[in-house]
Structure 1
Amino acid sequence: MTNPSEIVRIAAKGDGLTADGRHAPGSAPGDILLPDGTLERGPHHVTPPCRHFRKCGGCSLQQLDEQSLAEFVTSRVVNAADGQGISIGELLPAHLSPSKSRRRATLHAVNGGGKALIGFREGGSHKIVGLTECHILDERLFSVVDALRSILGRRKGKYSCDIELTLTDQGVDCSIKNLAIEGLEQTEAMLDFARDMSLARLTVDQGYGPEAMWEPEPVTITMSGVPVGFPSGAFLQATPDGEAVLAADAVAWLDGATTVADLFSGLGTFAFALAPKAKVLAAEAARDAHMACLLAARFSGRPIHSIHRDLFRGPLLPQELNAFGGVLLDPPRAGARDQCDQLAQSTTERVVYISCNPSSWARDAKRLVEGGYRLEKLHPVGQFRWSSHVELASLFVR
């Protein structure tokens, strides 16, 4: 008989749940919640690697071993499908990105008592944790944090800014929002910082829109062997290995389709992976991402036709979708309700749905199933290691 105080699973937001329904933050399956609220560690509870864990909001699951972390990622996806009554054909083993593999992140900086605090916010708070180490960011990103802390630490007066870091082909792209650069001394300090760190680009928004202060050469991201121009702030999969897994699923599941519609295509992450074997229509609403994809396709000679289209306001209609042997969609967190309504009325045989939100995915998946599709494959992907955020790849067939 199960001990009612034993942690039996991890809930969607990362808290452990006992057999009798009590929540226990920071616990792992197999732990025992003692009467005084402390935990007796079980076999799946490991020592968190980071000194900032439990205070920094960047991670919530560092106490889990690999097995429990994979089970959590899988359960988030499976429970979403079960909640909508969707049967899963084949459930693939979860992919977990390794530590220190995140290639993009948004950090926050403030003047905290005369020194610069740069890091993520505390969980459920606006307070910023000044990071001295980080086990999720690629070390090349974190080296920029160290240097920027030194630069900001010399500034006087209050400031509160956001720092977006992305690892590109040319190095780190650093974009800072809400930071005033006043006078020659501060300007030269920022340029020295960019030069010393060999930044790919330094962009600063002082309240009038982003301006590039430093960009020695055009910044690109290579996708399936094709360098694609990278607009500052554009969407990018969180880890290279996560992107590779999702792209490999898309290529394998759409194999044999000679024409594919890539909806919410962004910079062309999946379009360029598919294009060597298929003609691809890439539809994207963000103009800068659309233009980057269009130009890269043109210069590379890949058979990609890129169109600027808001799929929330104007989803592809059944008569348009019927021309494609397969459809891939990778919408934002809100999902693609209207586009899935149109897909459900189409005759398209295969749909690959990539999602960063199991809840909106499951809602849309139900509509596809009601329209005659079945969920043939489901692949949980834990790109955001030690976080409750989960991604997935799924294949629907008629």
Structure 2
Amino acid sequence: MFVSVILRVAARGDGVTADGRFFALAAPGDSIGGDGGIIPGPHHAEPPCRHFPTCGGCQLQHLDDASYADFLNDRVAAALSGQQLDAPILSPHISPPFSRRRASLRAERRGRSVLLGFNEGRSHRIVDVAECHVLRPELFALVAPLRKLLVGLLPDRRGGEVRMSLADQGVDLLIEGVEAAGLDAAELLTAFAEANKLARLAIDDGYGPQTRWEPEPVTITLGGVPVPLPPAAFLQATEDGEAALVAAVRAGIGGATTVADLFAGLGTFALAMADGRRVYAAEAARDAVLSLKAAGARAQLQLFADHRDLYRRPLDEKECARFEAVVLDPPRSGAEAQMPALAKAGPPRIAYASCNPATFARDAKLLIAGGYRLEQVMPIGQFRWSTHAELVGHFVR
């Protein structure tokens, strides 16, 4: 005898019944038996990876694409509802498997072997990955060689972190928490970089990244413009997701010819908008600003990159009034400090890209109170099979 049916998936990935009970690894349409067991329904998918559900890199491989899209929509709708807001929510864009171009993996040496992978869910234990269905193949191909390299760099029972990004020239690799002093270590790193055709290899022993291998300057192309890529710099998780974000932001600013890009990073949006527009780009990270400034100058764009911490020094009302559109892409904490000036004197259109539906909804309420209307929201699932939801919202006065 069946007790109940799973109606939806909650924010942390558990299935929820009509009477409010939570069941791990349950999909919408699954039935819950009298013993609490899950009887798979039409939306319950067979997880493709042997490490699921232990590995914390994915939480939702048991959902099919339709229910995963519903999950992303529900995350956005719940955040808006929490602020008493409502808006049309478009069909989500979901990045495909094997498309993640950046990742951080944890490493730990145990005798003559090294564990390398993601943490277990809600744990510090490392899952020693033998396969991964989210990483780009170019990144995963380095996992086995890295284990051998780290045996010679990590002390026994000590850990480190490996950051990988796919740049224009190949894989950009940063190894943190290791020391590589002396000629033997230098030769080991050089041989590894050459054998694996790395774009760059850097080491961080606690005093910042130190480049050990970089045959040519490493770049990442954004908006058709090569941008110098600092070690461990932020990139959108997938090229596919970046393209969807850029398209949604461009649609949100319409025909605006003077645009401010706030929290601009390396220029994901600024460079994509600088085709005939005048763009002001504000960013707090100094190395990112210098890279963006150099790229804009080389491409002869009408782009002004400003080293500015928008939490401590947001644009004031006079500055906000200068633009025909504003693009926001803040960290997870949102852009609350910038909202008062935008709400009072902001431009006709705002495109807000967010990696946290809750802080987006909080900021949206402030904009709406100032006279804006939330025209639409597009969810984006760059982190496929995870509970992480991103979005782009369009605001108009």
Which one of the candidate residues 117, 140, 143 is aligned to 1:142?
140
For residues 167 and 340 of structure 2, the distance between their equivalents in structure 1, rounded to whole angstroms, comes to 36
Partner of 1:339: 338
* CA offsets 1:33-61 (integer angstroms, 9 cap, x no match): 22333210001001100000011000000
1:117 and 2:125 matched: no
TM-score normalised by the chain length of structure 2 = 0.97
Residue in 2 that maps onto 1:21:
20
1:152 aligns with 2:150: yes
| Structure 1, 108-117 or 362-371: larger mean CA deviation | 108-117
* Residues 3-24 of structure 1 deviation map (CA, whole Å, 9 limit, x = unaligned): 7521110000111111211111
Question: Which position in structure 2 is the counterpart of 1:255?
Answer: 254
CA positional deviation for 1:183: 3.7
Partner of 2:231: 232
Paired residue for 2:315? 316
AA matched with 2:204: D
Displacement of 1:64 in angstroms is 0.3
Partner-residue secondary structure (3-state), 1:252: helix
Aligned partners of 2:170 and 2:320: how far apart in 1? Answer: 39
Pair 1:281 & 2:280 matched: yes
In structure 2, relative to structure 1, the CA distance for the partners of 1:188 and 1:51 (3 Å cut) is same
Q: Could you report, residue by residue, the CA deviation over 1:135-177 in whole angstroms, capped at 9, with x for unpaired residues?
A: 0100100111121012224566232001100000010000011
User: Which residue is equivalent to 1:207?
Assistant: 206
Shift in Å, 1:87: 2.2
How many correspondences in the alignment?
395
One-letter code of the match for 2:179? A
CA distance in 2, matches of 1:334, 1:151: 37
SS of equivalent residue, structure 2 residue 306: strand
Higher mean alpha-carbon deviation, 345-354 vs 283-292, is at: 345-354
- Asked if the contact 2:3/2:34 (under 8 Å) is kept, the reply is no
Does the CA contact (< 8 Å) of 2:3 and 2:33 recur in 1? no
Letter in 2 for 1:376: E
Question: Alpha-carbon deviation of 1:277?
Answer: 3.1
> Matches of 2:289 and 2:172 in 1, distance apart?
20
Separation of aligned partners in 2, 1:314 and 1:182:
41
Partner of 1:354: 353
The question of 1:66 aligning with 2:92 is answered no
Unaligned runs of 5+ in 2: none
CA contact (8 A) 2:77 2:86 kept: no
Mapping of 1:217-228 within 5 angstroms? Answer: 217-228=216-227
Q: Could you tell me which amino acid in structure 2 is paired with residue 337 of structure 1?
A: E
Aligned-residue Cα RMSD (Å) equals 1.2
SS of corresponding position for 2:142: helix
Letter in 2 for 1:134: C
Q: Is the 8 A contact 1:4 1:20 kept in 2?
A: no
Residue number in structure 1 paired with 2:99: 101
Alignment match, 1:397: 396
Unaligned runs of 5+ in 1: none
Percent of matched pairs sharing the same residue: 51
Pairwise CA distance, 1:79: 1.2
SS for the counterpart of 2:138 is: helix
Q: Is the 8 A contact 1:4 1:18 kept in 2?
A: no
Change (3 A) 1:395 1:144: same
Deviations 1:313-347 (A, max 9, x none): 01001111101000001000000001012111114
Mapped to 2, the partners of 1:213 and 1:55 lie a distance apart of 35
Distance in 1 of aligned mates of 2:346 and 2:165: 39
After TM superposition, the score normalised by the length of structure 1 is 0.97
Higher deviation after alignment, 7-16 or 157-166? 157-166
